[in-house]
Amino acid sequence: MRTCTIGAYPKIPAKTGPSVRTAIQRFERGSIGPKQLFETYQAVVADTVNLAYDANLDATTDGQIRWYDLFDPLCRDIDNLQPGGLLRWFDNNFYYRHPLVTGRLQFQGGTLAQWTREAVERSLVPITVALPGPFTILALAEDRSYHQPSALLSDIVEVLALEVGSLRGTGLFEVQWDEPALAAQVSQAQADDVRSAYQDLLGAHSDMRQSVALYWGSSIPWVPVFADLPVARLSVDAVTNPEVLTVLQRELVACEIGLGLVDARDIRLEDAAHLAQIVTDYADRYGDTRVWLHPSSGLELLPPDRAADKVRLLKAVKALAEGETAHHG
Amino acid sequence: MAKMLQTTSVGSFPKPPQLVAARAKFRRGEISAQALRDAERAATREVIQLQEALGIDILVHGEMERGDMVAYFAENWEGFSQSLPVRSYGNRYYNKPIVEGAVSLGAAAGLTVKAWQEASAMTDKPVKGMLTGPYTICDWSFNTYYPDRRSLVLALAELVHEEAKALEDAGAHYIQIDEPAISTRPEELDLAIEAMGIVTRGLTARTISHICYGEFDRIYPALLDLPVQQLDLEAANGHYALVDLLARYPWPQDKELALGVVDVHSHRVETVDEVKAGIRKALAVVPPERLYIDPDCGLKTRTWEEAQEKLQVIVTATQAVREEEGLT
């Protein structure tokens, strides 16, 4: 089995250490300059990927430490996609700037590729870049220009494909498309729409590893859709939607599967032996390297001490599961 | 005849620099609890004086004694501990409460009364009593004790009810119970309504619930069943799309609307014309005697100057609409 994180991570330390929160406060008060703020971001990214290394993860994000929210790098890289007013981020006490589509989308690029390059340089663990998928963008963006969802979706897919292309050569491990809007049923998309859009998106750079993460709702309707597509890994939130585990046991999917069994929104720590037993069952069915264990979503919704505990839990589960697998072998 | 288009505020105000400094000193153990309270009282006086100077009709005390609207209650009631900070947006963090035992008022019964009494004594205008609703306290806490969310929400509702009664007994004519999390899970709206029924049970004060930053179209018009007399909703942040939603249904005879007309998460101060346009749009849905005008949410995220300027725009725009529509 393999382990990874799949999203944002707290930007503040559990005890002492560099803190984005403190640095921004000091920057706004004028007591530090742009260079010190920049160096703090770098240091916090380094701490995040170092934790992943210590936890023996097989892949990690950079914690999205520089990101205001999931849409932030896209709003920087795409013309006519601008951060709008604050809205609640699904059912969390977290708020994002909903993107405003103010004209025809044009890809300019630069920011995400640079951030990714920096993360890759600092990390001994392969770096995943998690971005909002086209249907989450379509569902949450405010369209002031196209007034025709199909035309907007088509351009979203094109600019996202250009974003993926801009990441070529950065050394990243994979691009992960986050589609909470599909799982949480905020999107009105039909299976055929999703299949068609993802064929175009994945096909534009078919040589680059791309995965999909569904969280905060039911993945079950989408499992057969993504199972037919060339995604490297399909990640599901088995905390919100434990029934999906039965579906994945019953219906073997061709791609790797990511089991979001570690609750990214609850401070209580899961029992490592229990999780190891579950992932071992899936490893027996899917093959050892095709099963991933990860939190149910990004860990930034937890306080930093509990988020770190959850990352370390992945290490404990992996050790137990590998022992179990060796024993079976 | 009652004044039309009364102006008010949602709750929090920015903490003046002297209070920010006093809170930091208190955390470092450099000043006593009494000295901190004195600083809070002085800051409350500034908040009251500002609102009076601007001509706001129904005042708030500004929540100078509170850091966060949920954590404040969790810090004082029993059954809670605190997590390390969790980000809520931008560079804003809060210490998310952890429910670790049965919740109770403990020694903190009437927690909010003293601050309300002190603020009320500073003005002849009405001051709202400010509470956080049980659904939101539950939703913004980690629950490690109660078997399910319903049990926790209903237990909290009894505590918030006791606090509301204490405010009413102290003389509060307006009691606001904030429920910003209420749109989070449409499937739990009935639970939130049931809990609010417990909170407002038997109250004679005018009851208000402030709700913001949610997807109202997922809970409207069912939200109208919330047992309060006034809904206080943010509109400016969403470019008044909320009013379009409200317009799809008749506005009920027994409900008032407080309309948020300035974005509290933007440094930009709205123009008088923008706010007037927003008020006029709402007037097409809600009659002026039942329409109140205020900011989208608490002003604590703004600087003191920004808060003052935004409130000034509200007062100016509202007065202009009153005059232009013959509502004075």
Please, what is the average pLDDT of chain B? 96
Of residues B45 and B328, more confidently modeled? B45
DSSP E strands in chain A: the ranges are 2-3, 78-88, 95-107, 128-132, 142-143, 174-178, 210-214, 233-237, 256-262, 291-295
pLDDT at A187: 82
- Is residue B255 a contact partner of residue B229, using CB atoms and an 8 Å limit? yes
Q: What is the DSSP string of B49-106?
A: HHHHHHT-SBB--B-TT-SSTTHHHHHHSEEEEEEEEEEEETTEEEEEEEEEEEEE-G
**Domains plus CATH for chain A?**
2-72+108-132+161-328 (3.20.20.210)
Q: In chain B, what residues touch A266 (CB-CB under 8 Å)?
A: 142
Give yes or no for residue B184 having a pLDDT over 90: no
Report CB contact under 8 Å: A95, B89. Answer: yes
What's chain B's length in residues? 328
A120 to chain B, minimum CA–CA distance in Å? 25
Helix A111-122 vs helix A149-167: angle between axes, to the nearest 10 degrees?
40
Question: What pLDDT score does A325 carry?
Answer: 60
d(CA A128, nearest CA chain B) in Å? 22
CB-CB contact of A317 with A276 (8 Å): yes
- Residue A329's pLDDT is what? 46
Using an 8 Å CB-CB cutoff, list chain B residues near A24.
91
> What confidence tier does B267 reach under pLDDT thresholds 50, 70, 90?
confident
> Does B252 score more than 70 pLDDT?
yes
Q: Cβ contact (<8 Å) for B265 and A25?
A: no
Partner residue opposite B184 with nearest CB, options A11, A12, A88? A88
Question: So what's the pLDDT on residue A185?
Answer: 86
Residue A137: CB atoms within 10 A of its CB come to: 27
| Cβ(A173)–Cβ(A128) below 8 Å | yes
Edge-first strand order for the sheet with B230-234 is B6-7, B291-294, B256-260, B230-234, B206-211, B174-178, B129-132
Please give, rounded to a whole number of angstroms, the shortest distance from the CA of A319 to a CA of chain B: 27
The CATH number for B6-68+111-324, chosen from 3.40.1410.10, 3.40.50.2300, 3.20.20.210, 3.30.420.40, is 3.20.20.210
Please say whether the beta carbons of B122 and B45 come within 8 A: yes
- pLDDT one-digit tens code per residue, A118-151: 999 999 999 999 999 999 999 999 999 999 999 9
Determine the pLDDT at residue B265.
Answer: 87
Backbone angles phi and psi of B278, in degrees to 5: -65, -40
With a cut of 70, which residues of chain A have pLDDT below it? 324-329
Residues B130, B58: Cα–Cα separation, whole Å: 13
How does residue B1 score in pLDDT terms, banded at 50, 70 and 90?
low
Count Cβ atoms below 10 Å from residue B214 Cβ, excluding itself: 21
- HSE, CB side, 13 Å, CA atoms: give it for residue A199: 8
Q: Cβ–Cβ of A93/B214 closer than 8 Å?
A: no
- Going by the DSSP 8-state scheme, the letter that residue A229 receives in this structure is T
Enclosing H/E stretch for A250:
helix A243-250
| pTM of the predicted structure, to 2 decimals | 0.91
**Pairs of CB atoms within 8 A across A/B:** 71
pLDDT at A328: 54
Residue B3 pLDDT level (bands cut at 50, 70, 90): confident
Helix (H) or strand (E) holding B192: helix B189-200
CB distance A91 to B184 below 8 Å = yes
Contact state of A305 with B84 under an 8 Å Cβ cutoff: yes
Mean pLDDT score, B176-202? 95
